[in-house]
Amino acid sequence: MSEHNSTKLQIINLLKKRGQWVSGESVSRLLGISRAAVGKHVAALRAEGYLIQALSRRGYLLKAEPDAININAIKKSLATRIIGQGQWYFLEKTPSTNTQAALLAMEGAPEGSLVLAGLQTEGKGRKGRGWFSAPRGIHFSVLLKPPMPARRLSLLSLLACLAVQKTYADLSGLDVRIKWPNDIIIGLKKVAAVLVEASIVGGEVEWAIVGIGCNLNSTYEEFPENLRVSASSLLQETGKTFSRNLVYKELINNLDFYYCKLLQEGGEPLVFEWKQKSDIIGKELRLTAGGQVVEGKALKLDQDGLLVIADKTGRQHQMEVGDYSEKEV
């Protein structure tokens, strides 16, 4: 073992043994290295996935060890009919799992195929916005081929939100809500989000990619400053860390449950459940649709998953969730 690696191991062992804050001064004295060297080793350990908090007056605290994604273990733990029954790809680092999954779809990959990433460098959000992929989180996309018209695409986003909401609520015991159209929130903070992209042929869905990003084990400081007021993670909300393999298992099982329900029973039961987990109905909103701003009261979610809002003249507008492109037949 190189000297560098053995010092890193000594630091980890020390932090583990203490199980509480250890001052930089103590680490430096016990290991016979400078404070600057301690800082460098801690940075290297963080890059390997250790979650080490640092505070100037208190020193270092080990909050979590690397949580490697184990595809075989996740696969074995699933009880699904469609999702996870196609091809699996794990990429340590990729620009966007949605982009990768779309490439697979164009190559004819089967329904239920999955692309999982350790980290995304250019995660995509709705309306061309970016998505910050928090470290030690979940970033993945599933390929679906539902036999449905494009106008029902919002149902895919809705079912993915239901699956994430259930997973977060079961794991944390907290009041987790769905914020229309595609966010999962705890209190006022966003802890996960969904992005559905699809290929449409002759008004029908040819394939759809459901991308899900979950903030799991990231700290306040790890979010960019401009997101710190609006974003959070399960770690921040509960003080506990969550195994990514366990969250993948629960989430993929839940996704499959809601997707099979949609195929068998249609959108109505999903819309019913969604209404209980979201508090948008009755609220005054200001939304942009097709470049136009619509202001009005949220009346209901219709059977296709579209939000119906009434403007002040009483005219009703149906608002979609999905971002999709019309393809020439």
CA atoms of 151 and 248, how far apart (whole Å): 29
- Pick the closest to residue 126 from 180, 191, 88 (CA basis): 180
How far apart are the two ends of the chain, measured CA to CA in Å? Answer: 60
The closest residue (CB) to ligand BTN is 211
Question: Under the criterion CB under 6 A, does residue 123 sit at the interface with ligand BTN?
Answer: yes
261-268: long-range contacts (C-beta < 8 A, 24 or more apart)? 261/159, 262/146, 262/155, 262/156, 262/159, 263/146, 266/303, 267/152, 267/155, 267/158, 267/303, 267/304, 267/305, 268/303
Alpha carbon separation from 308 to 151, 157, 297, 305 (Å, rounded): 14, 16, 9, 9
Shortest Å distance, C-beta 139 to ligand BTN: 4
Instruction: Tell me the window of 74-82, 125-133, 156-164, 220-228 that interacts with ligand BTN (CB under 6 A).
Output: 125-133
| Residues binding ligand BTN: number (CB under 6 A) | 19
Binding mask 139-178 for ligand BTN (x = CB under 6 A): xxx-------------------------------------
CA atoms of 153 and 205, how far apart (whole Å): 8
> Could you count the other beta carbons within 10 Å of the beta carbon of residue 305?
25
Question: Under the criterion CB under 6 A, does residue 137 sit at the interface with ligand BTN?
Answer: no
Instruction: Tell me the window of 75-83, 133-141, 222-230, 280-288 that interacts with ligand BTN (CB under 6 A).
Output: 133-141
Per DSSP, what are the bridge partners of residue 295? 286
Instruction: Tell me the window of 192-200, 240-248, 253-261, 262-270 that interacts with ligand BTN (CB under 6 A).
Output: 192-200
Nearer Cβ to ligand BTN, position 7 or 182?
182
Question: Under the criterion CB under 6 A, does residue 212 sit at the interface with ligand BTN?
Answer: yes
The correct pick among 15, 60, 84, 124 for binding ligand BTN (CB under 6 A) is 124
* Residues within the interface to ligand BTN (CB under 6 A): 96-98, 120, 123-126, 131, 139-141, 182, 193-195, 211-213
